[in-house]
Amino acid sequence: MSTERSGGKGKAGEGTRALKVRVKTAAKRSVASARWLERQLNDPYVARARREGYRSRAAFKLLEIDEKYKLLKPGQRVVDLGAAPGGWSQVAARKVGIGAGRGRVVGIDLLEIEPMPGVDFIQLDFLAPEAPARLMELLGGPADLVLSDMAANATGHKKTDHLKIMGLAETALDFARQVLAPGGGFLAKVLQGGTENALLADMKRDFTTVRHVKPAASRSDSAELYVLAIGYRGRPTEILTPDDGA
């Protein structure tokens, strides 16, 4: 990797000079990948994640959302959809009290995830028919909170990327309806683009409180948002009619 460092002043009063890393585009590296790498090298949240032992910068998004809305509580059962590399599961495990023998956290992803003390990871498509039952078995019951930081591979076409991530959020919501206990919560990543309002309207039928959230750790130049729903009303009770043989 070929990089250059340029000096810059730190925050006022610190008397330090911050170094910005610039990445040169190599023959085998596209302009887009070079920009991504440069952004990662200069991202303060990436550096902070390394210092504080988190598996990804995304951990700070959940920490900031939880600080404001108090989603994670001791003893909760939590599902982390698309959990790799485990940053959100890490935060959830600490908040629900895994280290003290309280709560349960189960993460699921198509990718293999490095083991984490007290957390169960499953390498499985969460859309697989057996996924809800397997997760609830590991949790020991229905979930109190379903988290999803999933994102499809970007194409660079804003409308296409928006529709792809909204499709993931919608399927994550359908999954949450199957595994959440009454009163439970749901948090999922979306992209601004228009159809996220339809998702919110759908969520309002099942949850008492629904809102958009953009944590500070979510890059300011990104269309990324999170939809947060609290107070799951529970699945409707099926009512048998005379035609059903009742």
How does pLDDT run across 42-56, given as a tens digit for each residue? 567 788 878 888 888
- Does residue 245 lie within any of the structural domains? no
**Are 111 and 225 contained in the same domain?**
yes
Number of C-beta neighbours around residue 38 at 10 A: 18
Token pair belonging to 86: 């485990």
| Residue 39 pLDDT level (bands cut at 50, 70, 90) | low
Together in a domain, 101 and 156:
yes
- What's the rounded mean pLDDT across residues 233-240? 60
**In contact, 91 and 99? CB cutoff 8 Å:** no
pLDDT of residue 196: 72
**Residue list, annotated binding site:** 86, 88, 109, 125, 149
**Separation of alpha carbons 218 and 200, rounded Å:** 20
What pairs with residue 8 in β-bridges? 18
For the chain, how many structural domains are there in total?
A: 2
Is the Cβ–Cβ distance between 55 and 107 less than 8 Å? no
Range of the domain at 65: 59-232
User: Does residue 133 lie in a domain region?
Assistant: yes
My answer on whether 99 and 162 are in the same domain is yes
Residues 19 and 86 in one domain: no
CATH of the domain at 182: 3.40.50.150
* Rounded (10°) angle between helices 44-52 and 31-42: 50
* CB-CB neighbours of 1 under 10 Å: 10
Active-site residue flag, 189 = yes
Residues 35 and 121 in one domain: no
What average pLDDT does the segment 141-154 reach?
88
Q: pTM of this prediction?
A: 0.77
Q: Greater confidence, 154 or 64?
A: 64
Q: Is 143 found in the same domain as 36?
A: no
55: closest CA among 116, 106, 97, 112? 116
Q: Are residues 86 and 171 in the same domain?
A: yes
224 plus 168 within the same structural domain: yes
pLDDT tens readout for residues 83-136: 999 999 999 999 999 999 999 999 999 999 999 999 999 999 998 999 999 999
Q: Cα separations (Å) of 150 from 19, 108, 183?
A: 32, 11, 23
Catalytic entry in 24, 189, 204, 214: 189
Is the pLDDT assigned to residue 155 strictly greater than 90? no
Known binding-site positions for S-adenosyl-L-methionine: 86, 88, 109, 125, 149
For residue 43, what pLDDT is reported? 65
Query: Are 29 and 19 a contacting pair, CB within 8 Å?
Result: no
Q: What is the pLDDT of residue 22?
A: 52
Q: Based on the domain organization, do 12 and 119 belong to the same domain?
A: no
